[in-house]
Amino acid sequence: MLSINSIFGRDPNVIIILADDLGYGDCEPNNSSSKIKTPYLSKLAEEGLCFIDAHAASATCTPSRYGLLTGINPSRTGVLNTLLSRGEPIIGKEEKTLADLFRSKGYRTHMVGKWHLGFSWDKKWTDQPLRGGPIDRGFNTFFGIHSSAGSDPLCFLEQDRLAGQPTEPITFPKYSTKGEKVIKHAKAAPGFTIEGTSKALIERTIHLLKEHSINKNKKPFFLYYASPIPHQPWVPMKKFRGKSGLGDYGDFVMQLDWVVGEINQALKKYGLDQNTLLIFTSDNGVGPPAYKAMSEQGHASSEKYRGMKASGYEGGHRVPFIVKWPGKAKAGTTSKSTINFTDFFATFSEMLGLDHRKEFPSAVDSQSFLSALMSPKKKFSRQPMIHRSNTMRIEKWKWIHPSRSILFSKANPNEFEVYNLEKDPGEQINLAPKKPKLRQKFFQTYQQFNQEIKLK
């Protein structure tokens, strides 16, 4: 198997920027009618390749990140956000991550931002090491936060420890699904603010890029930047307050756009951009409060797609996906290939000349889309894509149960809906009554997958 190294001379640096709860229609490259201005994302799209049929591994935060890093469909292992309450790491020791993959090829591996995949802890935030986090799952360095910027502990984490104890009173706003604003009271580490979180994370990222550029050791790097925005609480920096004219969420999206611009510009400034594969995407669809707030402003956060975060419909898991790779991924192009976060593992493995099935067999659900990245007009034919809520995609067909909470074992095959996404991307015309054989075929395919499930 040829590697990109053998084709182009050296292995590229790789950066994944993961937004938090950003809707497909919240950035201008995906939504020509967007009321939120995202000039830096538009610039990135001009310089790169847009996948318009890209999907998160799940429609909620924790399972989505799990699938991205491990190449394992979270449906296979039953990973849900609720597992965090156990006080155990979500990623098992036997499950290798993208950081493990890159380290096996001599890369330096860094994570900055929101982990949200748990640690081993006794539910008391102390100064003891937090086991099972990024440092124990393949990353050389970690600077970030445990969950969202408004979730305990309100402090930064450095490597495997808290960078400070939450002792100072703090208040911040949070919105309900009905759009009601509530003021939250909590305690944060001295100097930690919700408003300053994003700024601190991007400063650390720029420092890492600068350090790499002047380091005589020319090892390539893998950087996973997991942005905590535009997830709640919506507390934009002063320079972005009121900038969108659409309220705090719109301002926060513009701040995220700025973050992307800062990273893209830093790569150019430090001479790293020509040998860096930069990917921007989001962990799932837009959150319900933001969806409601933006709808009232005439902005479609899910663009033409149905649903939002936590939904099996397209708006829950179809996400923005932009790849910039100078000289490799053709600039200003679009790919219609269907891809999933779980596919990162196989794609990067092929890029590095590895057979992940032999060297990293835990990534059982990963399928390489490198061919589509290198040749956008060449459509990558993906195997069935399954989401937790009894939802499956095969080519243009979508099979879904309208209830996201019903167990497959208790579901009636005749309750499932079938949509032709090629003709009906908004999932408005249920074709199941007209295609009973197709519906039954989907049910049987999922039934086979369901028998392979081993819950954590």
User: Which CATH code, of 3.40.50.1000, 3.40.50.2300, 3.40.720.10, 3.40.640.10, is assigned to 4-163+190-383?
Assistant: 3.40.720.10
| Residue-level pLDDT at 3 | 46
| Residue-level pLDDT at 217 | 66
Q: Which long-range contacts (CB under 8 A, 24 or more apart) does 152-159 make?
A: 152/125, 152/186, 153/125, 153/189, 154/186, 154/187, 154/188, 154/189, 154/192, 154/194, 155/188, 155/189, 155/192, 156/189, 156/192, 156/200, 157/115, 157/130, 157/133, 159/135
User: Has residue 2 got a pLDDT over 50?
Assistant: no
According to DSSP, the residues that pair with 400 across neighbouring strands are 391, 417
Counting residues of the chain whose pLDDT is more than 70, the rounded percentage is 97
- Going by pLDDT thresholds of 50, 70 and 90, the confidence category of residue 218 is confident
| Residue-level pLDDT at 100 | 98
The model's pLDDT over 358-394, given as tens digits with 9 standing for 90+, comes to: 999 999 999 999 999 999 988 888 999 998 878 999 9
Residue with tokens 């879904």: 400
Q: Write phi, then psi, for 385 (nearest 5 degrees).
A: -105, 120
Region 412-427: what's the mean pLDDT? 96
Which of 43, 103, 68, 9 lies closest to 328 in space, CA to CA?
9
Beta strands across the sheet bearing 49-55: 161-162, 157-158, 141-145, 108-114, 221-226, 13-19, 276-282, 321-324, 49-55, 333-340
HSE-up of residue 239 (Cα within 13 Å, Cβ side) = 8
For residue 148, the SS3 value is: coil
Which contiguous run of DSSP H or E holds residue 66?
helix 61-70
Dihedral of alpha carbons 77, 80, 82, 83, sign? positive
The model's pLDDT over 117-168, given as tens digits with 9 standing for 90+, comes to: 999 977 678 888 999 999 999 999 999 999 999 999 999 999 999 999 999 9
User: Has residue 44 got a pLDDT over 60?
Assistant: yes
| Residue-level pLDDT at 426 | 98
Which of 64, 33, 53, 35 lies closest to 309 in space, CA to CA?
64
Average pLDDT, the chain: 94
User: Has residue 9 got a pLDDT over 80?
Assistant: no
Q: Which amino acid, one-letter code, is at 417?
A: E
DSSP H helices in 151-229: 194-214
In the DSSP assignment, the letter for residue 131 is B
Counting residues of the chain whose pLDDT is more than 90, the rounded percentage is 88
Distance in angstroms between the alpha carbons of the first and the last residue of the chain: 34
CB 52 within 8 A of CB 302: no
Region 255-272: what's the mean pLDDT? 98
| Residue-level pLDDT at 7 | 47
Span(s) in the chain for CATH 3.40.720.10: 4-163+190-383
Largest distance between two CA atoms of the chain: 65
d(CA 214, CA 212): 6
Region 284-289: what's the mean pLDDT? 97
In the DSSP assignment, the letter for residue 244 is S
Residue with tokens 């890492």: 208
Region 326-331: what's the mean pLDDT? 95
Of 68-77, 319-328, 404-413, the least confident: 404-413
Phi-psi region of 330 (alpha: psi -120 to 50; beta: other; left: phi over 0): beta
Helices and strands, number each (H, E), in the chain: 13, 16
d(CA 367, CA 361): 12
One-character DSSP codes across 304-354: TS---TT-SSHHHHB--EEEE-TTTSPTTEEEEEEEEGGGHHHHHHHHTT-
Angle between helix axes 194-214 and 248-269 (nearest 10 degrees) is: 10
| Residue-level pLDDT at 6 | 41
Q: Which amino acid, one-letter code, is at 100?
A: D
Radius of gyration of the chain (CA): 21
Dihedral of alpha carbons 204, 205, 210, 214, sign? positive
Region 393-417: what's the mean pLDDT? 91
User: Has residue 397 got a pLDDT over 70?
Assistant: yes
Give every CB contact of residue 339 below 8 A, 6+ residues apart in sequence.
51, 53, 54, 55, 321, 369, 372, 380, 382
| Residue-level pLDDT at 128 | 87
